[in-house]
């Protein structure tokens, strides 16, 4: 299951998984493009292992890497609580 984390001004959606038994959390970034498709990237926390990067420039990836690094502690916490919406009501 993937949980919403945030939506950026350009409609980029950032979601995350529940924490896996091995302690990993999948973070998925997806941005609609101008031709009906999507740019996307996946990051695995806590290793910050990036994979399946499609359509993003180096500048965009630099921004996303910093954004995820700055918010990883929150994403990891929310991954253990059923997402931000469940964490907010706990």
Is the CB of residue 45 less than 8 Å from the CB of residue 75?
yes
Helices vs strands, H then E, count in the chain: 2, 5
Domain that holds residue 77: 2-89
Burial of 87 (0-12, 13-18, 19+ CB in 10 A): middle
Is the CB of residue 48 less than 8 Å from the CB of residue 68?
yes
Q: What is the pLDDT of residue 4?
A: 95
Rounded to whole angstroms, the Cα distance separating 80 from 51 reads 23
Each residue's pLDDT tens digit, 33-88: 988 899 999 999 999 999 999 999 999 999 999 999 999 999 999 998 887 777 65
Q: In the 8-state DSSP scheme, what is residue 81? A: T
Question: In the chain, what percentage of residues exceed pLDDT 70?
Answer: 94
* The total number of structural domains that make up the chain: 1
pTM: 0.89
């Amino acid at each position: 299951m993937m949980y919403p984390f945030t939506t950026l001004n350009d409609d980029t959606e950032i979601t995350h998984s529940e924490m896996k038994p091995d302690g990993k959390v999948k973070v998925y970034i997806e941005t609609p493009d101008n031709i009906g498709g999507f740019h996307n990237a996946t990051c695995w926390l806590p290793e910050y292992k990036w994979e399946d990067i499609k359509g993003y420039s180096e500048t965009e990836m630099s921004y996303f890497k910093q954004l995820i690094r700055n918010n990883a502690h929150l994403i990891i916490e929310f991954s253990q609580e059923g997402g931000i919406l469940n964490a907010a009501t706990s």
